[in-house]
């Protein structure tokens, strides 16, 4: 899904009249994620216009999700650790967004991510005790 969104963002960035791009960017850029994308890219020494920032962030997220998914399907311990780290690192941003504006879907995502983190911690602790 994220690969499709990343590809669509690249395609929209090359839209000549820019109507679709303007609509979606005006909607998406009101959230705090593009700020963090800009900070991360500037830390790498890259400066990209906002559509390309969104595309880069989406494609990186898709690649990370792909690596996590393949690792988890193969039953790799490192994949559980990677998923736990990524999940826990996303919690402060989710809490910030929830405080900024309480919305039921944000609350659901926060609850799901907390449950995922809990299950992974229990699983990793159980694996350590066994082996």
- Domain residue limits, the chain: 1-74, 75-131
Q: What is the mean pLDDT of the chain?
A: 76
Cα angle 42, 62, 41; round to 5: 0
Cα angle 45, 100, 120; round to 5: 70
**Tens of pLDDT along 1-33?**
556 666 666 666 665 555 665 665 555 555 555
**Location of structure tokens 């994620």:** 33
Query: Could you tell me the pTM of the whole model?
Result: 0.61
């Amino acid at each position: 899904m994220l690969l499709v969104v990343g590809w669509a963002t690249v395609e929209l960035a090359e839209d000549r009249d820019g109507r679709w791009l303007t609509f979606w960017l005006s909607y998406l850029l009101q959230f705090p994620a593009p700020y963090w994308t800009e900070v991360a890219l500037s830390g790498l020494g890259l400066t990209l216009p906002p559509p390309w920032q969104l595309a880069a962030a989406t494609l990186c997220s898709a690649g990370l999700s792909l690596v996590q998914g393949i690792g988890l399907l193969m039953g790799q311990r490192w994949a559980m650790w990677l998923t736990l780290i990524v999940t826990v690192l996303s919690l402060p941003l989710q809490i910030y967004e929830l405080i900024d504006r309480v919305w039921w879907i944000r609350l659901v995502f926060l609850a799901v991510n907390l449950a995922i983190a809990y299950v992974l911690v229990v699983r990793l602790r159980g694996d350590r005790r066994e082996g």
